[in-house]
Amino acid sequence: MTVSVGIEAMGLAVPELYVDMAQLAEARGVPVGKFVEGIGLKQMSVPAVDEDTVTLAVRAARMALAGVDLKDVGLCIVGTETAVDHSKPVTSFVQGLLGLPTHCRIYETKHACYGGTAGLMTALDWIRSGSNRGRKALIIASDIARYGLRSAGEPTQGAGAVAMLVSATPSLVAFDQNVGTYANDVMDFWRPLYSKDAVVDGQYSVTCYLDALRGAYRAHQETGTGVTPSYSDRFAAIAYHVPYPKMAKKAHEALRLVDGDAAPAASFERQVRTGLLLPERVGNIYTGSLYLSLLSVLNGDPRALDGQALGFFSYGSGSCAEFWSGTVTPGAQAKVKALGLGALLEARRQLTIAEYEQIMTAREGLDTRVPGADPVPAFRFAGVENHRRLYTRA
């Protein structure tokens, strides 16, 4: 018997601060059109000095776990490429802060932006195999994307986390088992152990992303129903990994060309546009970017998507990529709209460019920050004492 497996609930956390991309372009002496149309970003999330990968993960998870009995969670994986320790996983901090049961298996996965998908795929197989014994998995993709001030990557930063409760009662999206994978050893983007900032060969990374997309998409077709000229027309929407919105546009055109579509840009509005509404106000959140795009589709698509097929493309530099598909569960859109994601973004505060630069500089000393006397809100990073990271609790 085939078990229906997928996402039962989702949660999103973004920092309460952002910069306006037109203002950043002006400050950098770059035409506004380059950042707003060329990159495709309107706003970019900026983490405050009391936010890190742990705090974002916990806040996203609390949204996804509303009304869930924590005893039912038997697996928790955090996918991240901006972990806070070389040994102790982000997931251990998350387990403590959330109060997950001691019989829950926890660990962290790393493979650039693919790390969250690695966790999701493991959770799906765990449930399909029956090893879950009726329990659910909590998969969190959490990151702070940072390239450094005035670098070419600066307009493609961001921060945030997406949490997914994965189960055999997928009330948002049920996934098909057919997954197309593509892996290739490339140096397109990495973060050496001695650096807080990512190193990237920007234009080459775009080529690597597109090669991986074509490879994973073809592999998906080969394991599924085979190549047909209109193969991707079966998807009402396709959620891509979105390092910046223009990349998803390029990706979609490349995918349609694989199908042999003579007008590859024509389906962009129908299949991709709503998946960019949230990413264009948040920026790159690395592991969570694809899942932010999924939230964006479910939150913002004006069509009724009940029972409709969706495509998914995950890319992690280095590289590993996967293309797979799923079906929207009836009622999923109302469930996501009830999360109030628009209001979450509206409630943020816009930084001046000077404030943003101050925060980015202050964050360089975060790992040795001494806890202050001032009260910090719940689930925030308080500082480091005796080599131990401290977080505020509820």
Residues of the shown chain interacting with ligand HMG in the complex, contacts defined by CB under 6 A? 31, 33-34, 37-39, 81, 112-113, 152-153, 155-156, 188-189, 200, 202-203, 205-206, 209, 241, 243-244, 246-247, 284, 286, 315-317
DSSP 267: T
Closer CB to ligand HMG, 187 or 353, in the complex: 187
State the Cα–Cα distance between residues 143 and 191, nearest whole angstrom. Answer: 13
Shortest distance, position 247 Cβ to ligand HMG, whole Å: 5
Of 6 and 155, nearer to ligand HMG (C-beta) is: 155
Q: Which of 113, 252, 253, 320 is catalytic?
A: 113
Strands (E), the chain: 6-13, 17-20, 43-46, 73-79, 105-109, 136-145, 158-167, 173-175, 180-183, 189-190, 199-200, 235-240, 309-316, 320-328, 349-350, 381-385, 388-391
Question: What distance in Å separates the CA atoms of residue 356 and residue 262, rounded to the nearest whole number?
Answer: 44
Determine the Cα–Cα distance for residues 215 and 41; give it in Å rounded to an integer.
27
Establish whether 113 is a catalytic residue.
yes
| Catalytic (active site) residue 241 | yes
**CA–CA distance, 133 with 224 (Å, rounded to integer):** 29
Closest separation in Å from C-beta 217 to ligand HMG: 16
Which of 8, 81, 108, 253 is flagged as catalytic? 81
Which CB sits closer to ligand HMG, 39 or 57?
39
Known catalytic residue at 220: no
**What contacts 351, CB < 8 A, 6 or more positions away?**
17, 18, 19, 46, 359
What's the closest the beta carbon of residue 22 comes to ligand HMG, in angstroms? Answer: 12
Closest CB 89 distance from ligand HMG, rounded Å: 18
**Closer Cβ to ligand HMG, 132 or 319, answer by number:** 319
Q: Which residues are catalytic?
A: 81, 113, 241
